[in-house]
């Protein structure tokens, strides 16, 4: 939950960051995937500041969109809102297995059905691992991709949802 995201202590471990990242993703990307205006309104109402250039362009890889800083005392987090409707939540540090467990628990709690799909190492970056999910609730559907670093210490992690 986003409430947990902003209320954690200053020394949260990567598994705690995984729980925070999954909660941020659920409240932003899962809630508003495909509706960039609603996502951006939510981010501003929540008090997330827009990330300035050149970081915005770096996060978006030159695609049009807006990036919001969701960092707190526990770590650095961003929400990426692409003009095309995709949404991502990114943590500077999170444990991969803990992130997958937290995401699946949050999806279940929200009543969202999901099916894990492809789970493979990135062909270009061997330290990265990607797991895909298809998810649905009523008439809403999402394609979710989880990108994590294959390292026991954790590393950057990103959750992406597209309608």
Write out pLDDT tens, residues 90-126.
999 999 999 999 999 999 999 999 999 998 877 777 7
Provide the whole-model pTM. 0.86
3 state SS for the chain: CHHHHHHCCCCCCHHHHHHHHHHHHHHHHHHHCCCHHHHHHHHHHHCCEECCCCHHHHHHCCCCEEEEECCECCECEEEEEECCCCEEEEEEEECHHHHHHHHHHHHHHCCCEEEEEEEEECCCCCCEEEEEEEEEECCEEEEEEEEEECCCCCEEEEEEEEC
Which pLDDT value is given to residue 3? 28
Number of domains the chain contains: 1
pLDDT tens figures, 117-145 = 998 877 777 778 899 999 999 999 999 99
Domain that holds residue 153: 2-162
Do you find a cis peptide bond into 71, omega within 30 degrees of 0? no
């Amino acid at each position: 939950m986003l409430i947990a995201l902003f209320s954690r202590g200053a020394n949260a471990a990567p598994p705690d960051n995984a729980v925070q990242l999954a909660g941020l993703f659920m409240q932003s990307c899962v809630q508003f995937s495909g509706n960039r205006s609603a996502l951006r309104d939510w981010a501003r109402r929540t008090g997330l500041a827009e990330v300035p250039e050149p970081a915005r362009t770096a996060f978006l890889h030159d695609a049009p969109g807006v990036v919001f800083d969701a960092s707190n005392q526990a770590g650095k987090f961003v929400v990426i809102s692409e003009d095309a409707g995709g949404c991502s939540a990114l943590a500077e540090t999170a444990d991969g297995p803990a992130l997958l467990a937290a995401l699946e628990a949050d999806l279940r709690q929200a009543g969202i059905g999901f099916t894990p799909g492809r789970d493979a190492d990135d062909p270009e970056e061997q330290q990265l691992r990607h797991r895909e999910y298809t998810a649905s609730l009523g008439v809403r559907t999402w394609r979710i991709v989880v990108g994590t670093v294959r390292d026991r210490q954790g590393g950057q992690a990103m959750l992406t949802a597209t309608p």
